Amino acid sequence: MRNLLALGLLLIPSAAVGAGAPSKLDPAVAGRIDEIFSDWIAPDEPGGKVLILRQGEEVYRGSWGLADVELGVPAERGEIYPIGSLTKQFTATAALLLVDEGKLDLDATLVSLVPGFSITGQSITVRDLLGHTSGLANLSNIPEWSASWGKPATPTELIDLFRRKPLANAPGVRFEYNNSGYVLAGRIIELRTGESWADFLAERIFRPLGMTSTAVNDTSEIVPGRVPGYSRTREGWQNIRPLLHPTQLYAAGALRSSLDDLARFHRALAGGKLLSPDSLAAMSTPGTLRDGRHTGYGAGWAVSKLRGHTQLEHGGASYGYYSAVVWLPESNVWGAVVTNRYGFADRARELLAKAVQLAAGWPENEKPAQLSPEALARFAGDYLQEDDRKRTMRVTVEGDHLVVARGDKAPAIAFPRSSEQFFGPGEGEELDVERDADGGVLRLVLRASYVGETYWRKSAVELAPPQPPAEAPEIDPAVYVGRYRLGEDFLADVRVEGGALVVDVLGMTGVPLVATGEHTFSFPTGFGSVVFQVRDGRAVGLEFTQGGQVTQGERIE
């Protein structure tokens, strides 16, 4: 059941608005950033902190909510937070340091670097590991891993959990975020240096940069300034106990840090003090798949184009906490957020991105360009996804914008930025236009952070329309509402919110349950499914399935 934790991660908090150094931003911009975060969380709840740099100089610092709810300590006084997958930025940097020193080659194969590593995909490279294109089985989805969370593990023991699993796909043909790649990257660093991964990071990055708050997050250690993590249940906020031994996260997510340490790291990275220009480009340039498509991820950075500008970002979830960084390299504005509240990770990153964009001078709401009806009409038609011939997209025109229907997704709006680019149809997505020799629309390239590029070629003939979302079967929510015990450790509260059935579990509140059949539900992300056992018109238990692992739940209220 612990794999359910992967469904969603953390939020952004607030209380003592703008505490800390005075803002160097325009007062209206600083006030809007304050408003964004103070609207997000109540002052008496677990909190968080934000720091924004422009040209390497601090221009904004804010804190909201509480670092310690029981003691009423404001977030301003909290210093150290587990940073989850932000650890990947440090692992990628360490690997690229070795590349700069001639001790590692990004195109070296896995089997040549890790003794005894036998897997069908012998063409897996270091570049594949850092860019999430290895095709390896993801450690996070392996039931044997979640069963041993509380126990210490060596890197070799972690690798043994997935080394003999079949590849999900051939290396380099698909991007899929994957912790196994970074576990192997950490082990390769150890093999090439003769030092532990943690010692190498401390020696080459943390100590030289004065990052005194950054280290492996040993939960048994007394760490002055480290804040407790929280989750929300039906009864309110609760302390969250450590679930993972730090060695289980290793080079993919084991570190703790502070806002100021993250800023020190950014200044050194952006200022060329850590890596060569080529290695920094490898971190911040989207990878390329075997067919030429870009992945939307470099090495430790997700890469996207927004409003014609590059945006680099990464999130980091650790149970009870969430952190994120966003960097606009062309204007050199960078921001970070650290929080001690569990759930809604994507929302936290979105709010930080909005704050960083405001600090860079971007208008909050982009105004679309005006295209003539004739110009818009050239985009109307059916499109076929080039790497998946079964997926179609229909584009129609309504007024001054396009309406895009993809597969079973609800139609969404795309507004013109110019005659060659649209923003939308989804959050953080953009459509670029590729034309034929006569100026007609040849294909549309959909770009999105963490996803990369998908190519949609315009069809000369009308295709079967995308299938609309299937009508959900009618349900009686009262049948399912109640509290369920999942395994030995977890509770799930199923309730009705806004007329829809939702579940509160492990600090995630209001997660929709989408009916797919009789007493059968799925999560909107496709993360897993839930089947309720119903007797005499009342659910008495449930069965949760994810990644081949099934967990039974008993109704207790």
283: left (phi over 0), alpha (psi -120 to 50) or beta: alpha
Stretch 416-434: mean pLDDT, rounded? 88
Residue 90 lies in a domain: yes
pLDDT at 119 over 80: no
Domain identity same for 168 and 209: yes
CATH code of the domain in which 250 resides: 3.40.710.10
Domain identity same for 277 and 194: yes
Domain identity same for 391 and 537: no
Res 550: pLDDT:
63
* Nearest CA among 503, 140, 131 for reference residue 283: 131
Domain identity same for 440 and 533: no
Domain identity same for 264 and 153: yes
Say how far apart CA 120 and CA 314 lie, in whole Å.
31
DSSP run (H or E) holding 267? helix 259-270
Domain identity same for 351 and 397: no
Residue 472 lies in a domain: no
Domain identity same for 138 and 191: yes
Res 10: pLDDT:
25
pLDDT at 479 over 50: yes
Query: CB-based contacts of 481: which residues, under 8 Å, 6+ apart?
Result: 494, 495, 496, 501
pLDDT at 212 over 80: yes
Residue 189 lies in a domain: yes
Res 236: pLDDT:
77
Q: Tell me how crowded residue 476 is: count the other CB atoms within 10 A of its CB.
A: 9
Question: How many domains does one find in the chain?
Answer: 3
Res 199: pLDDT:
98
Domain identity same for 338 and 415: no
CATH code of the domain in which 424 resides: 2.40.128.50
Res 12: pLDDT:
26
Res 424: pLDDT:
84
pLDDT at 388 over 80: no
pLDDT tens across 339-379, in order?
998 765 567 888 999 999 999 999 888 889 999 999 999 99
Residue at which a domain ends, from 303, 330, 359:
359
Q: DSSP state, 461?
A: S
Q: For residues 231 and 32, which has the higher predicted lDDT (pLDDT)?
A: 32
Residue 470 lies in a domain: no
**Which residue range is the domain that position 399 belongs to?**
373-458
Residue 465 lies in a domain: no
Res 6: pLDDT:
35
Domain identity same for 48 and 156: yes
Res 4: pLDDT:
36
Domain identity same for 432 and 523: no
Domain identity same for 199 and 290: yes
Residue 236 lies in a domain: yes
Res 503: pLDDT:
82
Q: How much is the mean pLDDT over the chain?
A: 86
pLDDT tens across 263-292, in order?
999 999 999 999 999 999 999 999 999 988
Mean pLDDT is lowest, of 11-25, 243-257, 397-411, for 11-25
* Nearest CA among 549, 530, 533 for reference residue 541: 533
Q: Are 397 and 377 in contact (CB under 8 A)?
A: yes
Sign of CA dihedral 444, 448, 451, 452: positive
Say how far apart CA 287 and CA 283 lie, in whole Å.
9
Sign of CA dihedral 357, 444, 286, 156: positive
Residue 534 lies in a domain: yes
**Over the range 53-69, which residues count as b (16 or more CB within 10 Å of their CB) and which as e?**
bbeeebbbbbbbbbbbb
pLDDT at 147 over 90: no
Residue at which a domain ends, from 332, 359, 386:
359
Residue at which a domain ends, from 427, 458, 489:
458
pLDDT at 507 over 60: no
Confidence of residue 527 (pLDDT cuts 50, 70, 90): low
Query: CB-based contacts of 477: which residues, under 8 Å, 6+ apart?
Result: 496, 500, 501
Residue 467 lies in a domain: no
Q: Are 359 and 25 in contact (CB under 8 A)?
A: yes
Domain identity same for 196 and 288: yes
pLDDT at 15 over 80: no
Percentage of the chain exceeding pLDDT 90: 55
- SS3 for 144-172 is HHHCCCCCCCCHHHHHHHHCCCCCCCCCC
